[in-house]
Structure 1
Amino acid sequence: MSQAEFDAYVDEYDAQHAQSVRLSGEDPDFFAEYKAKEAARAMAAAGVAPRRMMDFGAGRGNCVAHLQRAFPDAALTALDVSSRSLSHCEARAIRPLETVCYDGQTLPFADATFDMVFTACVFHHIPEADHIRLLREIRRTLSPQGRFVLFEHNPWNPATRHAVATCPFDANAVLISAPEMRRRFRAAGFTDIALRWTLFFPAMLAPLRPLERMLGWLPLGAQYCLVAR
């Protein structure tokens, strides 16, 4: 989607998002918090305590406050192609942050600027031809021990496919399988790539969620997470 298309969905985004995930029994905030906490676990496992982090494709800032809570000592930069979307990030933040609107091509940051780059369900909106180039740009902005944490929809999960098919702002989305996304990471020069599938149980089965830590190998979760250096 172009900047103009994203700008057009800003006002309706939250309502449309909530409608698309209603079958899960959760609201969008649940998923945003889940991702931030998973990112914190991944960074702790890597032994990296971020001082600067970027939310790539931050949109309306759904993950902003959760990232700030999960990483209380890190400065956050919210990046997006939609200036209208970014206008909501500061309102959702729990402490000051930087917002940057970019051209969708080149990240306006120096090499090794960030210790973590986080992105949540953004790449399925980006044309496939641009993926490896943007992944290289993200890698360029990471510090030597920094990590890129990506969440994406799992096209092998029927509930996910239904949610995407019924969401207006996902009309042009092209879902990417985890093995294919991992291949693109490698082509962009990332190393130490870890993959796990996430979000197996809807709200009605919430008591089973502690089992998810043991199910990351199973490619049936609603989404997947890739962590790479």
Structure 2
Amino acid sequence: MSQAEFDAYVDEYDAQHAASVRLSGEDPDFFAAYKAIEAARIMAAAGIAPRRIMDFGAGRGNCIAHLQREFPDAALTALDVSSRSLSHCEARAIRPIDAVCYDGQTLPFDAGTFDLVFTACVFHHIPAEDHIRLLSEIRRTLTPQGRFVLFEHNPWNPATQHAVRTCPFDANAVLISGPEMRRRLRAAGFADVGLRWTLFFPAMLAPLRPLERGLGWLPLGAQYVLVAR
């Protein structure tokens, strides 16, 4: 989607997103919080306390406050092609952030700027032919020990397919399988690319969620997470 298309959806995005995930029994904030908590767990397991974080494709800032809560000592940069979306990021932040609008081509940061680059369900909006170039740009901006944490929709999950089909914001979305996204990260030069599926149980089965940690190998979760450096 172009900047103009993203700008046009800004005001309706929250309502459309909430409607599309209604079958899960959760609201969009549940998924945003989950991703930030999972990113914090990943970084803690790696022994990294990030000082600078980029939210790549931050959109309306669904994850901004959650990332700031999970990483209270980190400076946060929100990057997006939509200037209107970034104004919402700034409004949702609980501390000042650096909101950066870019051209969708080149990341306007020096090499080795970030300890963590986080992205949540962004690449299905980006043309496939641009993925490896942008992933290479993300890798360039990471510190040598930094991590790239990517969440995406799992096209092999029927509930996810339904959510995407019924969301006007996702009208142009092209879902990418976990193995294919992992291949693209490797083609962009990332090493140690780990893949795990997640979000298996809707709200009505929430008591089973502690089992998810052992189900990451099963490609049926609603989403997947890739961790690379």
Q: 1:21 & 1:130 partners in 2: Cα distance?
A: 28
Match in the other structure for 1:89: 89
Superposed structure 1 runs of 4+ greater than 2 Å apart: none
Match in the other structure for 2:20: 20
Match in the other structure for 1:102: 102
Matches within 5 A, 1:178-197: 178-197=178-197
- Report deviation, 1:46: 1.3
CA shift digits 1:25-51 (9 cap, x unpaired): 000000000000000111111111100
Q: 1:71 & 1:150 partners in 2: Cα distance?
A: 17
Q: Is 1:68 aligned to 2:68, yes or no?
A: yes
Query: Residue type matched to 2:97 in 1?
Result: L
Q: Is 1:128 aligned to 2:131, yes or no?
A: no
Q: 2:198 & 2:74 partners in 1: Cα distance?
A: 25
CA shift digits 1:182-212 (9 cap, x unpaired): 0000000000111110100000000000111
Q: 1:217 & 1:69 partners in 2: Cα distance?
A: 29
- Report deviation, 1:152: 0.1
CA shift digits 1:86-127 (9 cap, x unpaired): 000111111111000000000000000000000000000000
SS at match of 1:87: helix
Query: Residue type matched to 1:102 in 2?
Result: Y
Query: Residue type matched to 1:213 in 2?
Result: R
Q: 1:131 & 1:48 partners in 2: Cα distance?
A: 26
Q: 2:11 & 2:26 partners in 1: Cα distance?
A: 21
SS at match of 1:88: helix
Matches within 5 A, 1:1-229: 1-229=1-229
Q: 1:90 & 1:2 partners in 2: Cα distance?
A: 21
Q: 1:90 & 1:186 partners in 2: Cα distance?
A: 33
Listed as ranges, the gaps of 5+ residues in structure 1 are: none
The number of residues matched between the two structures is: 229
Query: Residue type matched to 2:109 in 1?
Result: F
Identity of aligned residues (%): 88
Query: Residue type matched to 2:184 in 1?
Result: R
CA shift digits 1:58-95 (9 cap, x unpaired): 00000000000111110000000000000001111111
Note the aligned Cα RMSD (angstroms): 0.4
Listed as ranges, the gaps of 5+ residues in structure 2 are: none
Q: 2:16 & 2:80 partners in 1: Cα distance?
A: 19
Q: 1:212 & 1:70 partners in 2: Cα distance?
A: 21
